[in-house]
Amino acid sequence: MKALLIGCGQGGSKLTEAIMKMQCATFGKDIQGKPIKKQFDAVVINTTPQDLGDVDQNLIDAKRQLLIGTGFVQTSGHGAGGNPSLGTLAANHDALRIAAKIEEILLEINRNSEMNDVDAIFIISALGGGSGSGMGPVIAQILKDYYFEDQYPVIGIVTLPAKQEGRIPTYNGFISLQSWLKESNFDGIITISLGGKFLFNMDDSLRYYSKFNKAVAKAIYILFGGDSTGSRSSNVDVNDILSTIKEGGGLCTLGHFSTNISGINGKGTKEEEVLLTYHDSSDEVRGWKDQKLLKSLIQACNKNNLFLPVDFRSARSALLVFKDSESFEITRQAAQQSANWLEECIEGNVRHSDISYKHFKLIADNSIVESLYDDHEIDPSTDIELSRNESIEIALLLSGLRDVHIVQEMKKVAEEVRRFSNPPRGERLLAETLGIPIGEKINHTMLLPCSDLRDNVAAQTQSKAIREALNEFIEDHSRMDPILNKEHLKKNIRVTDVRPIPSEITCGKTSSIRTKINCFEIDIRLDNTHDNTHYIRTYGLHIKSFETNKEENNNRITWDIPEYLFKKPGWNNKEQQIIDDVTAVIDQKSEFITGIGRYPYCNGLIRNHVYRIRTIKRSKEKGACNLAYLIWISAQPHPVIIEFEIIEKIQNAGKWDEVEPLFNVLFEKEDEIPSSEKIIKILNHLGFQKAIKSKKNSYEELVNSKKPFNCEDIEFSSEGTKESKSFLQERGVENEE
- Dump pLDDT digits (tens) for 546-559: 655 544 445 566 77
pLDDT band at 444 (very low <50, low <70, confident <90, very high): low
Q: 412-426: buried (b, 16+ CB within 10 Å) or exposed (e) per residue?
A: ebbeebeeeeeebbb
**Residue 8, pLDDT above cutoff 90:** yes
Helix (H) or strand (E) holding 241: helix 238-248
Most confident of the following: 196-205, 392-401, 606-615, 692-701: 392-401
In this predicted structure, what is the pLDDT of residue 5?
94
The DSSP-derived string for 77-94 is TS--TT-HHHHHHHHHHT
In this predicted structure, what is the pLDDT of residue 700?
47
- pLDDT, average across residues 267-277: 37
**Residue 173, pLDDT above cutoff 80:** yes
**Residue 501, pLDDT above cutoff 90:** no
In this predicted structure, what is the pLDDT of residue 414?
85
The DSSP-derived string for 618-636 is E-SSTT-EEEEEEEEE--B
In this predicted structure, what is the pLDDT of residue 66?
92
| Secondary structure of 263-274 as H, E, C letters | CCCCCCCCCCCC
pLDDT band at 446 (very low <50, low <70, confident <90, very high): low
- Dump pLDDT digits (tens) for 47-99: 888 888 888 888 898 999 999 888 766 666 667 777 888 888 888 888 889 98
In this predicted structure, what is the pLDDT of residue 572?
86
Q: Which of 68, 78, 63 is nearest to 45 (CA)?
A: 68
Q: What are phi and psi of 274, to 5 degrees?
A: -85, 130
Work out the mean pLDDT of the chain and round it to a whole number: 74
Q: 100-109: buried (b, 16+ CB within 10 Å) or exposed (e) per residue?
A: ebbeebbeeb
Measured in whole angstroms, the distance separating CA 5 from the mean position of its chain's CA atoms is: 24
- Per the CB < 8 A criterion, the answer to whether 538 and 497 are in contact is no
- pLDDT, average across residues 703-727: 41
In this predicted structure, what is the pLDDT of residue 721?
40
Higher pLDDT, 442 or 169: 169
* CA–CA separation, 37 and 24 (whole Å): 8
In this predicted structure, what is the pLDDT of residue 227?
52
Q: Using alpha carbons only, how large is the chain's radius of gyration in Å? A: 31
Helix (H) or strand (E) holding 242: helix 238-248
Higher pLDDT, 396 or 618: 396
In this predicted structure, what is the pLDDT of residue 723?
42
Distances from the Cα of 541 to the Cα of 373, 401, 465, 506, angstroms: 62, 40, 7, 21
**Residue 470, pLDDT above cutoff 70:** yes
* CA–CA separation, 453 and 443 (whole Å): 15
> What separation, in Å, do the N-terminal and C-terminal C-alpha atoms of the chain show?
57
pLDDT band at 12 (very low <50, low <70, confident <90, very high): very high
- pLDDT, average across residues 178-205: 72
- Dump pLDDT digits (tens) for 509-547: 444 444 456 788 899 999 888 888 899 999 998 887 665
In this predicted structure, what is the pLDDT of residue 697?
41
**Residue 268, pLDDT above cutoff 50:** no
In this predicted structure, what is the pLDDT of residue 600?
59
- pLDDT, average across residues 594-614: 70
* CA–CA separation, 661 and 172 (whole Å): 45
Whole-model pTM above 0.85? no
In this predicted structure, what is the pLDDT of residue 375?
54
Q: Which of 404, 380, 390, 472 is nearest to 160 (CA)?
A: 404
- Per the CB < 8 A criterion, the answer to whether 326 and 357 are in contact is yes
- Per the CB < 8 A criterion, the answer to whether 171 and 136 are in contact is no
Q: 46-79: buried (b, 16+ CB within 10 Å) or exposed (e) per residue?
A: bbbeebbeebbeebbeeebbbbbbeebebbebeb
- Dump pLDDT digits (tens) for 108-134: 998 888 888 888 899 999 998 888 888
In this predicted structure, what is the pLDDT of residue 386?
67
Domains and CATH numbers, the chain: 1-186 (3.40.50.1440), 249-421 (3.30.1330.20), 424-570 (no CATH), 574-729 (no CATH)
- Dump pLDDT digits (tens) for 339-397: 888 888 887 888 888 877 776 767 766 665 555 555 555 455 556 666 676 777 888 89
Question: Which residue type is seen at 380?
Answer: P
**Residue 655, pLDDT above cutoff 60:** no
- pLDDT, average across residues 456-476: 83
- Dump pLDDT digits (tens) for 237-263: 778 888 888 888 778 998 888 777 655
In this predicted structure, what is the pLDDT of residue 52?
87
